[in-house]
Amino acid sequence: MSRPRPEPMQVVKQRRDAALAALVNSVPYIRFLNISFDRRGDELTGQMNFDQKLIGNPFLPALHGGATAAFLEMTAMMALNWQHLWPKIESGEIDPADLAAGKLPRQPKTIDFTVDYLRSGLPRDAYARATVARSGRRFASVRVEAWQDHKDRPFAQAVGHFLMPQGEDRRDAQKG
């Protein structure tokens, strides 16, 4: 009995990158805020690239609190989505080509999102990383921190709770 040959690492990386790109491109607000995501294995780091439109107080200058909160929420959502998609991408259950064609799974819905502003965000690139604290069939809790120069000195942090999408078979059963 012979085992199937493993895929070349480049093919695996391309599949993962294509899936992440499709997921990110499905949210127009991410493009508007100029947020990108760096993937290292199953871990994502969000980067909000500085733009003058993100300044809320031009006298300081400081990043707008709404832009900061949106950046944190988008990072939390992407981390949660990525955690749920990762095993399906790895097993081949989800084809990145289907994701790119717009056949995306339903997204979690935000129940609440609480932001702590620890200091003013400076007019430069910001980074964020989210940790999924709990994720079940119906509910998920995510923590996220944003920093600029030093990861140990966050300028904002947040906790979000999300309603997880139910499977297609469950929706069909409820209709009938």
Q: Which one has a higher pLDDT value, 108 or 174?
A: 108
SS3 state of residue 4 = coil
**How much is the pTM?**
0.86
Identify the sign of the CA torsion 22, 49, 41, 108: negative
Which pLDDT score is estimated for 1?
Answer: 62
User: Before 61, cis peptide (omega within 30)?
Assistant: yes
CA distances from 13 to 17, 79, 87, 91, 176 (A): 6, 18, 14, 14, 41
> What band does 42 get if pLDDT is binned at 50, 70 and 90?
confident
Domain ranges in the chain are 9-175
Distance from C-alpha of 13 to C-alpha of 1, rounded to nearest angstrom: 28
Contact 45, 128 (CB under 8 A): yes
User: Which region among 42-46, 105-109, 134-138, 153-157 has the lowest average model confidence (pLDDT)?
Assistant: 105-109
The most confident of the ranges 96-100, 155-159, 170-174 is: 155-159
Q: Which fold has domain 9-175?
A: Thiol Ester Dehydrase; Chain A (3.10.129)
Q: Which one has a higher pLDDT value, 5 or 109?
A: 109
